Amino acid sequence: MKQFLFVLSLLFALQLSAQTDSEVLDKIYTTSLKEGKSYSWLDHLSNQIGSRLSGSLGAELAVAYTKEELDKLGLDKVWLQPVMVPKWVRGAPEFAYIETSPGKTTSVNICALGGSVATPNAGVKAEVIEVKSIDELDKLGKDKIAGKIVFFNRPMQADAIRTFDAYSGAVDQRSSGAREAVKYGAVAVIVRSMNLRLDNFPHTGNTGYGDLPPSKHIPAAAISTNDAEVLSGMLSLNKDIKFFFRQNCKQLKDVQSYNVIGEIKGSEFPNEYIVVGGHLDSWDLGDGSHDDGAGCVQSMDVLRVLKKIGYKPKRTLRVVLFMNEENGLRGGTEYAKVAKEKGENHIFALESDSGGFTPRGFSFDTSDETFVTKAQQWKPLFEPYLVHQFVKGYGGADIGPLKNDTIVLAGFVSDSQRYFDYHHAKIDAFDAINKRELELGTATMASMIYLIDKYGTN
Amino acid sequence: MKQFLFVLSLLFALQLSAQTDSEVLDKIYTTSLKEGKSYSWLDHLSNQIGSRLSGSLGAELAVAYTKEELDKLGLDKVWLQPVMVPKWVRGAPEFAYIETSPGKTTSVNICALGGSVATPNAGVKAEVIEVKSIDELDKLGKDKIAGKIVFFNRPMQADAIRTFDAYSGAVDQRSSGAREAVKYGAVAVIVRSMNLRLDNFPHTGNTGYGDLPPSKHIPAAAISTNDAEVLSGMLSLNKDIKFFFRQNCKQLKDVQSYNVIGEIKGSEFPNEYIVVGGHLDSWDLGDGSHDDGAGCVQSMDVLRVLKKIGYKPKRTLRVVLFMNEENGLRGGTEYAKVAKEKGENHIFALESDSGGFTPRGFSFDTSDETFVTKAQQWKPLFEPYLVHQFVKGYGGADIGPLKNDTIVLAGFVSDSQRYFDYHHAKIDAFDAINKRELELGTATMASMIYLIDKYGTN
């Protein structure tokens, strides 16, 4: 019986190799849409485990769960790669209000930014100075800023077509607003949430103090876009209003965590590595379904789907679920370090970290100018699946440390219009996931991995 | 002052004519995303008015509201075009259960199909025969079917990439299942909802009895996909289970309604008409935000945005909000009839009726084979907006009656993955609308209308 099954699987593999690429892609898409596992994996990750901030119990459970699921797939090897990660905890829910006159207050929705220090136990209350940029801060100087709460309120640019461009154009307020405001004696910063919609949800995300000594760290929080509008409106009527907030967040000691890795050994070029991955950690407010549970389950399903259709890779395929993208990038850094130490020749790494939305294509980060042209020749293969973007651009944070002269880094590009509605907010939750969109993403990624494995990157 | 404003607007118009197409498109997209009105119009239509089934109070209010809003835009002419429409009412909420043995029942979610007759007051209860197709019905014949409820349970095809293809491949069960089942003596039909997801919402939609005399009409209802799975599972265990349902729907006499039309007269070719539209009626379960409130407000905003950027059309541009697409197509039919009577030369009609999702492109229905090639030459103009589909295909139901040898009918194509989650169900509601996706659609449509006006269709 075993021999019979062996012959059968051999025949299956031979049959596959006789297929055209377009037939293989058809098989990949059909399998993803009819027998995909990504949605049910994500259901578990989001609804049974929940948020997965580095160092949290959720992150630990997610490591165990995804390893267990990869173990079931019959890959050649599944293992955990140890990595020490920072542990930041939010503590008790934040509380904030605008005080228009003593005793007259309006509550607003805020959340501590990741990495921020707490306010004093009694909170912080001060006058507010609204700025649109760090430049403006510099122009105002110490006179206008000292003793105040700086309110960064430059909205994401509504007419950027790719919302990631709008994000890049605004996120400096969140990532470095606090450390810049300190220079002028600010007591705290409040940042308009990185969100293109007007709603009530504050969006967290990392902030950094750079080289400032801990004694100089000031608390930083995000305010919902609706409340940013309210605060700005009140300030335009009365510059003397005060803002109060309280948060208990804390940076603890680093703790042990892991990247989760699964591998199918290549039959012809086992030391040529092709990586597909996402990051297993998430922020703590939602359950991280889009950021980046989606990318993780899609990456897992890429290997599963290729196996299911009987594809035997020539090169070694690895799924890597990176730990700690959000507030440290320790997982990506460690993975690249170990790969280098072991002399593993990584030729291609694909990251899915832009949400589980309808796939639009790929952006390639490579010093090999000819590769993008080569990839564009595959466009007709993807046309039936409405995947049309094959451009030079960003790869991904976790795969970034793998960059060298020869590797091609690739970012999976999905429709970005809704991404920042959910990103780092409590509504980044499973009900914002559409099964088909997620599965089409899996198929698109698996198709690219198949083509890279078959034809290489040169 | 008036003269000054006139000169100013003249200068503005001259300036626009000196712009490249890509500059004009940039202006259109920016205006839509930063100063669009479609979202707030839809908010009113959905949340203040609600569902708009032909002949209902909602439909009447929607006619008045959209006319009033068009009146405010300063178009050259706004008017109502009278059309008699069918009036079907759902009556009291439907009720249904599966009876596995006397007294042992499981409630299920159903809704009457549009146009269906009621059950007897006491409901209908009978054994169930499950079929996957009308063909299968024909094969089973009278012996197996007479006296039973026919349960059509062929799912929409999960691996169709364009969900409208999956819809076309399954909707015969809903639209003609009842009249086919009658031939073999069925007492009623239950149809699996046209929905690619598994959930609890029944999806309504039209069913027709063809030439059958009223005495032969049998009640027809949709069952949610989850409950279709339950019913099918129970039937596989026990063929003798019974299904009960009760519905009070009724076809009343035709009533007066209207298409809502607004127009900007063409400066060079006033008798060449370019139409952009959607249908103002909706089904009654949700508020019809995607189907087709979105298409209506986008079409209205197309004229508003073009006016706002100072564009003076050479041809006559019309926005048409058609009445009664869902259950009669009387509005589309009447509009085409009047256009013909008046000798209006319609050269292009664009319909948006696939939901307010991220735009992907256009499908063109024309006997002029060269037009699609011409339109494809505009692709580079749309590339910055990630709009990439310019294909031969379907135009739209409401504009269909305009078809002749010279007109180009065009369907606005948006991302279709989520459309059938909402379509004709109570969750087709405003919270399923993303502002940016809606506005990007408006801009994409306005850009096409601009190009057609400028260059014609030949």
CATH of the domain at A413: 3.40.630.10
Asked whether residue A22 falls in the same domain as residue A133, the answer is: no
**Residue A368: per-residue pLDDT:** 87
Whole-number Å distance between alpha carbons of B175 and A2: 50
* Tokens describing residue B4: 């000054």
Q: Give the mean model confidence (pLDDT) for residues A23-42.
A: 98
pLDDT in tens, A220-261: 999 999 999 999 999 999 999 999 999 999 999 999 999 999
Q: Is B360 within 8 Å of chain A by CB?
A: yes
Report residue A86's pLDDT band, with 50, 70 and 90 as the boundaries.
very high
* Tokens describing residue B418: 């989520």
Q: Are B159 and A437 within 8 A, CB to CB?
A: no
Q: Is residue B10 in some structural domain?
A: no
Q: Is B417 within 8 Å of chain A by CB?
A: yes
Q: Are B415 and A358 within 8 A, CB to CB?
A: yes
Pairing of strands A77-89, B315-322: unpaired
Distance in Å from the first CA to the final CA of chain B: 42
Q: How many domains does chain A have?
A: 2
User: Tell me, what DSSP letter sits at residue A386?
Assistant: T
Asked whether residue A377 falls in the same domain as residue A328, the answer is: yes
Q: Compute the nearest-CA separation of B340 from chain A (Å).
A: 38
Asked whether residue A189 falls in the same domain as residue A260, the answer is: no
Pair A388, A382: CB distance under 8 Å: yes
Closest to B153 measured CA to CA, from B98, B223, B246? B223
Q: Is B384 within 8 Å of chain A by CB?
A: yes
Asked whether residue A325 falls in the same domain as residue A410, the answer is: yes
Find the largest Cα–Cα distance for chain A: 84
Out of B205, B226, B248, pick the residue that ends a domain: B248
Q: Are A436 and B196 within 8 A, CB to CB?
A: yes
Whole-number Å distance between alpha carbons of A79 and A70: 9
List, as ranges, residues 160-199 from B with C-beta within 8 Å of A.
161-163, 196-197
Pair B365, B412: CB distance under 8 Å: no
Q: Give the mean model confidence (pLDDT) for residues A140-150.
A: 97
Whole-number Å distance between alpha carbons of A402 and A394: 13
Whole-number Å distance between alpha carbons of B52 and B282: 5
Contacts of A358 in chain B (CB under 8 A): 358, 415, 417
Q: Is residue A145 in some structural domain?
A: yes
Asked whether residue B325 falls in the same domain as residue B435, the answer is: yes
Closest to B168 measured CA to CA, from B153, B179, B157? B157
Whole-number Å distance between alpha carbons of B400 and B392: 15
**Helix spans in B146-194 (H):** 163-168, 172-182
**How many interface pairs between A and B have CB atoms less than 8 angstroms apart?**
59
Q: Which residue of B has its CA nearest to A197?
A: B435
Q: Which amino acid is at A188?
A: A
Q: Is A317 within 8 Å of chain B by CB?
A: no
Give pLDDT tens digits along chain B (458 positions): 556 555 555 555 555 667 899 999 999 999 999 999 999 999 999 999 999 999 999 999 999 999 999 999 999 999 999 999 999 999 999 999 999 999 999 999 999 999 999 999 999 999 999 999 999 999 999 999 999 999 999 999 999 999 999 999 999 999 999 999 999 999 999 999 999 999 999 999 999 999 999 999 999 999 999 999 999 999 999 999 999 999 999 999 999 999 999 999 999 999 999 999 999 999 999 999 999 999 999 999 999 999 999 999 999 999 999 999 999 999 999 999 999 999 999 999 999 999 999 999 999 999 988 999 999 999 999 999 999 999 999 999 999 999 999 999 999 999 999 999 999 999 999 999 999 999 999 999 999 999 999 999 99
Q: Which amino acid is at A292?
A: D
Q: Closest to A196 (Cβ–Cβ): which among B417, B418, B436?
A: B436
Q: Is B157 within 8 Å of chain A by CB?
A: no
Q: Which domain holds residue B272?
A: 15-88+253-455
Pair A107, A94: CB distance under 8 Å: no
Q: Is A415 within 8 Å of chain B by CB?
A: yes
Question: Does residue A8 carry a pLDDT above 80?
Answer: no
Out of B220, B248, B276, pick the residue that ends a domain: B248
In what helix (H) or strand (E) does residue B90 lie, and over which residues does it extend? none
List, as ranges, residues 5-34 from B with C-beta within 8 Å of A.
29-30, 33-34
Q: A417, A438, A440: best mutation site toward chain B, by most B Cβ within 10 Å?
A: A417
**Helix spans in A47-171 (H):** 57-71, 134-145, 163-168
Q: Closest to B34 (Cβ–Cβ): which among A33, A158, A417?
A: A158
What is the Cα gyration radius of chain B?
24
**Residue B13: per-residue pLDDT:** 54
Give me the active site residues of B, please: 325
Q: B38, B436, B437: best mutation site toward chain A, by most A Cβ within 10 Å?
A: B436
Asked whether residue A391 falls in the same domain as residue A416, the answer is: yes
- Torsion angles phi and psi, residue B373, rounded to 5: -60, -40
Q: Is B421 within 8 Å of chain A by CB?
A: yes
Asked whether residue B171 falls in the same domain as residue B84, the answer is: no
* Tokens describing residue B361: 């492109």
DSSP character string of A266-285: -SSEEEEEEEEEEES---SS
In what helix (H) or strand (E) does residue B44 lie, and over which residues does it extend? none
Q: Is residue A9 in some structural domain?
A: no
Q: Closest to A158 (Cβ–Cβ): which among B33, B360, B437?
A: B33
Q: Which of A94, A272, A325, A439 is catalytic?
A: A325
Q: Name A87's bridge partners.
A: A252
Q: Which residue of A has its CA nearest to B29?
A: A159
Q: Where residue A238 sits, what CATH number does that domain have? A: 3.50.30.30
| ipTM given for this complex | 0.94
Q: Are B440 and A417 within 8 A, CB to CB?
A: yes
Q: Is residue B236 in some structural domain?
A: yes
Q: Is A440 within 8 Å of chain B by CB?
A: yes
Asked whether residue B187 falls in the same domain as residue B303, the answer is: no
pLDDT in tens, A315-352: 999 999 999 999 999 999 999 999 999 999 999 999 99
Q: A22, A23, A28, A386: best mutation site toward chain B, by most B Cβ within 10 Å?
A: A386
Q: Closest to A386 (Cβ–Cβ): which among B161, B421, B434?
A: B161
- Torsion angles phi and psi, residue B446, rounded to 5: -60, -35
Distance in Å from the first CA to the final CA of chain A: 42
Asked whether residue B346 falls in the same domain as residue B221, the answer is: no
Question: Does residue A12 carry a pLDDT above 80?
Answer: no
Q: Compute the nearest-CA separation of B23 from chain A (Å).
A: 14
Helix, strand or coil for residue A298?
Answer: helix
- DSSP-based helix, strand, coil % in chain A, nearest 5: 40, 25, 35
Q: Closest to B33 (Cβ–Cβ): which among A159, A197, A360?
A: A159
pLDDT in tens, A382-416: 999 999 999 999 999 999 999 999 999 999 999 99
Q: Are A159 and B417 within 8 A, CB to CB?
A: no
Whole-number Å distance between alpha carbons of B265 and B312: 9
Pair A262, A73: CB distance under 8 Å: yes
Whole-number Å distance between alpha carbons of A54 and A51: 10
User: What is the percent of chain A with per-residue pLDDT over 70, rounded to a whole number?
Assistant: 96
Q: Is residue A13 in some structural domain?
A: no
Whole-number Å distance between alpha carbons of A425 and A51: 11
How far, in Å, are A60, A155, A249, A250 from residue A89 at the CA level? 15, 27, 5, 5
Q: Which amino acid is at A194?
A: M
Q: Which residue of A has its CA nearest to B389?
A: A386
Q: Is residue B5 in some structural domain?
A: no
List, in order, residues 6 or more apart from B121 with CB less than 8 Å away.
Answer: B246
How far, in Å, are A325, B18, B78, B321 from residue B70 at the CA level? 50, 29, 7, 11
How far, in Å, are A42, A85, A335, A392 from residue A91 at the CA level? 26, 18, 31, 42
Asked whether residue B216 falls in the same domain as residue B339, the answer is: no
Task: Determine the Cα angle at A272 with ends A269 and A274, to 5°.
Answer: 120
* Tokens describing residue A52: 């997965």
Pair B417, A440: CB distance under 8 Å: yes
Q: Is B43 within 8 Å of chain A by CB?
A: no
Q: Give the mean model confidence (pLDDT) for residues A134-160.
A: 97
Q: Closest to B159 (Cβ–Cβ): which among A30, A158, A388?
A: A30
Q: Are A415 and B418 within 8 A, CB to CB?
A: no
Q: Is residue A306 in some structural domain?
A: yes
Pairing of strands A242-246, A95-101: antiparallel
Question: Does residue A39 carry a pLDDT above 70?
Answer: yes
Asked whether residue B84 falls in the same domain as residue B221, the answer is: no
Asked whether residue B162 falls in the same domain as residue B307, the answer is: no
Q: Is residue B131 in some structural domain?
A: yes
Out of B197, B215, B248, pick the residue that ends a domain: B248
